[in-house]
Every structure is written in C-alpha cells, then in structure tokens.
Amino acid sequence: MIDQPVLPACDHRPRAYDGPSREVVLEMRREFLTPALVTYYADPIMIVEGHMQWLFDETGRRYLDGIAGIVTVSVGHCHPKVLEAVREQNERLQHTTTIYLNPNIAEFGKKLVSTFSKDSGLGVCYFTNSGSEANELAMLMARLHTGNFDILALRNAYHGLSNQAMGLTALHSWKYPYPHGFGVKHVKCPDRYRGPHGYDDPDAGEKYAEEVEDTLRYATSGQVAGFIAEPIQGVGGTVELPDGYLPRVYEMIRAHGGLCISDEVQTGFGRTGTAFWGFENHGVRPDIVTMAKGIGNGAPLACCVARADVAECMSSRLHFNTYGGNPVSMAQGLATLNVLLEDKVQQHAADVGAYLMQGLNDLQSRHEIVGDVRGQGLMLGVELVTDRASKTPATTETARIHERVKDLGLLIGKGGVFGNVLRIKPPMCIQRADCDFMCEVLDICLSEVV
C-alpha cells in the first residue's frame, strides 16, 4: 500500500461550508444546466474555496492546483491585493459602459500597453469578456484592415468556442471534433515530437514553414487577411513552435497582404518565464495580440491589442461591447498586472519552472511511459506513450493517471490530439515544495499504470 503523499504546509484555513451538498449540486446541474457542460473527473469534485495555489472542496480537503483553473489564475486564487482592488471598486461602482468616461479602463489600457516594447507598434486596446471574443475581434480587424478574407491557423490549435473561434480551432481530438470555419485554412502543426522534423533538426522551423507557403500558393486566392498561432499550443498539448518558424511564417503572411496575430491567452503575462509575451521568445512583432485568462486572475476579462493603424479600421463599423471594459473587471485586471510586475512573477515562473522541469525530466528517465517533457516556465506538458519507439499514445493510461493524481491531492489538466498529454500550468505563485509534491504524486501514478 502506497502512503498518501503529504501536501506542503499551508497556513490558510477554509471557512466551514454550509451550502447544498455535492450530490444535490450535481443533481441540479444535470437538471437545470446545459448538457454541454463537462466535468473533469468520473467522480466530480466540488470546489468551494481557493487561496493562492490551493483549492478546497466542501469537506475542507485541500488540493494543489496544477492547472490554474485552466491557466486562468496567474498570481494566485483570491490574491489579497487583487481582492482589495475589486472590493473597493464594487463598493464605488459596479457597472458603466464605455459610452461614459471612467478612469479604470484608461489606466489599465495605458499600463497594459507599457508591457510591449515601444517599437512594436502595439498600442491600442479593445477589452472584451473572453478569449473567444478577442480572437473573433482579431479576425474581424484583419479582414477589415486588409480587405482580404482567408485566415490561416495551425492544426492542433485552440482559439476558443464561440462560433467563429471554433472555426479557427483545429483540435480534432480523439473525443471532440471541431468544425472548420468558412474562410479558415489550417496548416500543419510544427510538432517536433510527432512530426517529420524533430528536436534534432536545427532547420525544423524553416521546414515546417514550407507548408505554409504551399497553402498560400495553392489553397488561397493569393492574398490573406491573417495568420494566428499560439507561441506554445495550450489545449493542443503544450507543443512548442520551433525556432525560426514564426519569423519565416510572418514574413510569408505579410508578403501575401496579411496580418500576424499572436494568441497569448495561455502564454502571456510572464508564464513562459523567459519573456512577458510568448511571441517575444521568437523574435517576431505581431500586428495583433489577443489575451485572456491570466489577464484578470480569474475575472471574465480579455483584450485585443493592435497597432493603431490596424485598430483604426474598427471606427468604420458599429462595434460595441456592453460589458467589455467594465470598471470592476478593469480594477481586477490592473491590480493583477501590478502584482505581476511589482512581485517579479515572470522571474519566479522561470526559476520555479526550471526546478519543476528538472523533476519531470527525472520522471522521464525512470518511466518508459513518459515519451516527451516540454514547455517553458510554468507552461509544461508531459506526453505519455505506450511505446517510445512507435510513440503510440497512452490515452487510456493518461486518463487513469489524471483521475488518480486527483485522489492524491493534485489537480492537473490533460490535452493533446490523442488526450495523452498531462498539462501542468499552475498559478505562478507555486513554490519548490509544491513542485516536489507534484513530482512525488506523478511518480506514484506513473508506477501504478505499468
């Protein structure tokens, strides 16, 4: 019998829960909520409280959050500085649309733009409520600005679940196929683990980019509105784009009249450790950047940031967002950004992420089921295979491990085309002791599936 791993110390004590039971909540959810809602586990857990990297269920049991509410919580659950800013704003004014002036949206826009280099040209913000909205807005801007229609996206990508965003998303996974969108062309994902050009090929980026050129030549009118990509694919399984890929693709897209869009919903705000924005790791300058999730540490908040000349095209259309830029979300976004910058969270993500990567690499050296460990900072992925030579996806085993780590007190994600990648993207306040616990739990679970 394997001993239960001991969670690192935590001085937070959750409040007693006196609401409806887990069973009653599950029954109400099944009866009154859309069947499209899914639960992560066969035996769903109910989370009622959070504190920094910790989550608590209705019984008071504590879990280490290793997926940050699907990469949404950046500086920690219920961070005191963020809570205070939101409390103060709620007491003052909860809602006013952007047809009136309010200082919060202007101050946050100014602070957010300051995180981009001055020579990037990125300087105009359009706030929305979700990453899906931000990506649809980026598509609209690209089409209006260029006068072209076709947009290129990567296979295995994830850009949201609204109508147009689902068309961009090309994660035709083992369970949930996504429809193609009219005017969207998908190109090969530059996956160096599963693709023809591997980690040992220094020219992998250039070689994967060649297919983009073929698509531009043969599958479009010759002119495109834009190209969108995540610098590291999130839901797709933490796939890192190879060096040289984005610079070459951006060059091609611009030669064909298009704009370049970087989806930073998961890679932004210092999560990669090496840069505040994921695209900076590739030495490129996008025309539009979309962001959500970590921007507000859990608030329904997103943004589309563009060059001024690109954003100008929106003035020729009536486009309005009733809740985008509301004062409460702006207060939470600004407070979150201040914590990120003042507390040097990016550097912490780099340091702790490197330590966690060492632990995951050690697991790979001892467990044959671990085929690949990849990612940057605190955006990491562990791909599981039944055979390293054939790289056969260990889909069933991954599902079992995903369930089992929860039983031992760890919550992580899973993704990838075959559902065989463990997604590890915790709140960026995680500590080394938490990493040790995470690796201990994974060690136990990887041993059990053999």
pLDDT of amino acid 450: 77
- The count of C-alpha atoms lying within 13 angstroms of the C-alpha of 418, restricted to the half-sphere facing its C-beta, is 16
Domain end position, chosen among 304, 321, 342 = 342
With respect to residue 2, please indicate whether it lies within any of the assigned structural domains: no
Tell me, yes or no, whether 51 and 192 share the same domain: no
Is 15 inside any structural domain?
Answer: no
Rounded Cα distance between 372 and 160, Å, is 26
CATH of the domain at 422: 3.90.1150.10
Amino acid at 96: T
Q: For 33, what's the count of Cα atoms within 13 Å in the CB-facing half-sphere?
A: 10
Q: Judge whether 10 lies within some domain.
A: no
In this prediction, residue 174 carries a pLDDT of 43
**CA–CA separation, 350 and 428 (whole Å):** 10
The answer on 336 and 349 residing in a single domain is no
CB 324 within 8 A of CB 98: yes
- Are 333 and 350 within one domain? no
- 0.85 cut: is pTM over it? yes
Same domain membership, residue 42 and residue 26: yes
Please tell me whether residues 406 and 441 are part of one structural domain: yes
Nearest alpha-carbon partner for 423 in 70, 178, 101, 122: 70
Give the end of a domain, one of 283, 313, 342: 342
SS3 333: helix
Q: Widest CA span of the chain, in angstroms? A: 68
Structure tokens at 332: 């939470």
Q: Per the domain annotation, does 141 fall within a domain? A: yes
Q: Per the structure, how many domains does the chain have?
A: 2
Report yes or no on 434 lying in a domain: yes
- Give the pLDDT confidence of 40-60 residue by residue, as tens digits: 899 999 999 999 999 999 999
| Residue 48 shares a structural domain with residue 140 | no
13 located within any domain: no
CATH number at residue 191: 3.40.640.10
- Distance of CA 26 to CAs 18, 20, 46, 309, 399, Å? 16, 10, 9, 50, 22
378 and 294 in a common domain: no
Domain edge (last residue) among 307, 342, 377: 342
* Six-digit token string for 333: 């976004």
Instruction: Tell me if 7 is assigned to some domain.
Output: no
Q: Tell whether 424 and 276 lie within a shared domain.
A: no
Are 228 and 271 in the same domain? yes
Tokens of 310: 């690109």
**CA distances from residue 1 to 88, 136, 409, 444 in whole angstroms, order as listed:** 51, 51, 17, 11
Are both 68 and 144 inside the same structural domain? no
Residues 293/72, Cβ–Cβ less than 8 Å: yes
Q: Nearest to residue 256, comparing CAs of 209, 207, 214, 216?
A: 216
Q: Is 21 helix (H, G, I), strand (E, B) or coil?
A: coil
Q: Which domain holds residue 86?
A: 81-342
User: Are residue 148 and residue 259 in the same domain, yes or no?
Assistant: yes
Residues of the chain where predicted confidence (pLDDT) is lower than 50 = 173-174
Q: Are residues 366 and 338 in the same domain?
A: no
**Cα 377 to Cα 387: distance, rounded to the nearest angstrom:** 27
Q: Quick check: is 16 in a domain?
A: no
Question: Which tokens is 263 given?
Answer: 């989806």
3-state SS of 116-159 is CCHHHCEEEEEEECCHHHHHHHHHHHHHHHHCCCCEEEECCCCC
∠ CA 145-143-232, rounded to 5° = 105
The number of helix segments (H) and strand segments (E) in the chain equals: 13, 18
Copy the structure tokens of residue 222: 């010759």
What does the angle CA 123 – CA 106 – CA 85 come to, to the nearest 5 degrees? 120
SS3 245: helix
